[in-house]
Amino acid sequence: MADKSEEPVNVGDKRQSDAAESKEPAKRNKGDEDSDGDDEKSSGKFQKRMMALQFGYIGTGYAGLQKNPGQKTIEDELEKALFQAGAISAHNHGDLKKVKWSRAARTDKGVHAVGNLVAAKLLLRKREGGDEAGKEGGGTAAQPCSHDQEIIAELVKSVNTFLPQGMRLLDCKRTTKNFSAKINAGGRRYEYLIPTFAMQAA
């Protein structure tokens, strides 16, 4: 009966092979494709969530809602406040596309809004206990648990401390990851107030 002799293993070759494998870049998971450099926060005390933000403002002194280079806009102030509150990272600050920003409606220069809505992927503080707390709490985008609601309430309060007078974040809700404030808007209503003396005959 022939002996089943095994070929000798070259330890040096195995070490070189292991070293080569360790140099290969780690494969990105599907959920990591939009991390935008926030890995250190997403894997630590923060998590990224798509959020809908309802806010109101007095448009006097602003060149409209939408960001416009060289102009003072409502979105400039809102984005800055979100950044200062820690909801947008330094890596993403200044580029709304990186946080998948969308707006339900735009307003022109000097126009006010009782209620407008934008959506963005923001950084939220994780619940104590991490994923296990999430499983026990059972929170979802449609029905967030009480701890999620507390975190969101803290975010609203924090953002408002950085917003200028005449602008307020009214509410903030978790949404599905593909939510768009523009596409999913159910309707828009505009009101125009004209002083009565403008109707009088000259």
Instruction: Give burial (CB, 10 Å; 0-12/13-18/19+) of 13.
Output: exposed
> Which of 150, 181, 156 is closest to 169 using CA atoms?
156
Q: Give CA–CA dist 89/98, Å, rounded.
A: 10
Fill in the amino acid letter for 41: K
Return the active site residues: 108
What is the H or E stretch that residue 148 is in?
Answer: helix 146-162
Residue 138 makes CB contacts below 8 A (sequence gap 6+) with: 145
The partner residues of 117 in beta bridges, in order of sequence, read 54
Three state DSSP letters for 74-122? HHHHHHHHHHHCCCCCCCCCCCHHHHCCEECCCCCCCCCEEEEEEEEEE
Fill in the amino acid letter for 130: G
> Hey, what are 77's tokens?
């102030």
